[in-house]
Structure 1
Amino acid sequence: MALQRKDQDILNAMSLVESTKRELQKLIDDGWDSLMNKVSSFCEKHNAELLVMEDVFVDPRKPRRKTNITNLHHYKLQEFNDRFTEVNTDLLICMASLSPLDSFQEFNREKLVRLAKFYPDDFSYGEVLSLEQHLDIYIDNVSRDEQFKSLKSLGELSRLMVKTQKHLAHPLVYRLLKLVLTLPVATASVERCFSAMKLVKTAARNRIGDQFLSDCLVCYIEKELFEAVTNENVIKRFQLLNERRVVL
């Protein structure tokens, strides 16, 4: 549940991931046989078919595609480490060094230089060296500015840098910030949005237009905001539009 929080920061999230990996590994190493015995007993009690762990795993979504792994491999979650490799973990931890929380408390020059090296197509060797020298000027500049004291997210930092023209004074830092903001990190909010999209745009409504889909998703995803909007307000809004043949 902790990983599903919308306000989860990167460092805490990665710490929770590492703890989860250790607990899952402990279950695999010590509790797998006990778990399988419970599953077997449950299946026998309810006349349910028990999977043969040595058989090839069949993906129910793509049954014709060969997976080349056994049921044992799939259900033991041995691919869990592939989702959070050392490189991925290091990338996320380096990202956290840009965080403006608590007056840039997580700022770390070495980690930000390492982060830039993850993007060789966006930062040349010379630009990485220049960034390393410029980061001290950047952190001194923003940490002394009162406008930057109460920022809570990287998005807020990006917008304020543009508003105060600091993105022109610190172009390399701003480029790094933009790259971080466009990373396809599966946060809880993003995951919920994609789940909502699957519910709204079903096979029966596969030809729904982009604008109509966007309008439907806004209503579905932002439920908390729309709870305050009454039917009377909606009707009144339509009544104030152009004249219609049907009286609302």
Structure 2
Amino acid sequence: MRDEGWDSLLKDVTNFCEQHEILVPNMNDNFFVNGKSRRMTPHVTMWHHYHANLFVSVIDMLLQELNNRFNETNLELLHSIACFSPLDSFHAFDLDNDLIELKHQLKVYIVDMRNDDRFALVLPVATAYSGESFSALNTVKTKLRKKMGDQWMNDCLVTFIEKDLFSSISNVLITRQFQDMKTCRNRL
């Protein structure tokens, strides 16, 4: 969109303005900021102002926001889901490549499992723990907490799943810990 979307957007906006009898500025004219002296304003064309100062800036802000919200795993998941889009006859879906990669990943996993005794001990615990986590998710993530962030949700899930451990810790000890942290922060 950033590299190739400007021309189609400008065309769509121009068509819209013409249909509704809205004046379309000449993109080669100079752009002047209201309230500033025309002599003190840098010479910038309408095209540069709308393209570089607005369009590209907004696209960059959106990209930054998306990069902040989605980690590499989330992006891979979104890409995988996009492969099932019927647009262009599922052109992003490459079954042969995906199967070859999946076979390779499975072979590496099997080799790792056979060569490390720790995997055999961890697997039943991890399976039970993840099952418990999913059932706890319905209790923790309610309609009121619908938009909670990942870190906050993870913290809530840990305290919910490990409630026996957390109930053994006294409230006095927790309060003292927070007071110590506050004191340290105030010293900084």
TM score, norm. by length of structure 2: 0.33
- Would you tell me which structure has more helix in proportion to its own residues? 2
Q: Which has the larger radius of gyration?
A: 2
TM score, norm. by length of structure 1: 0.26
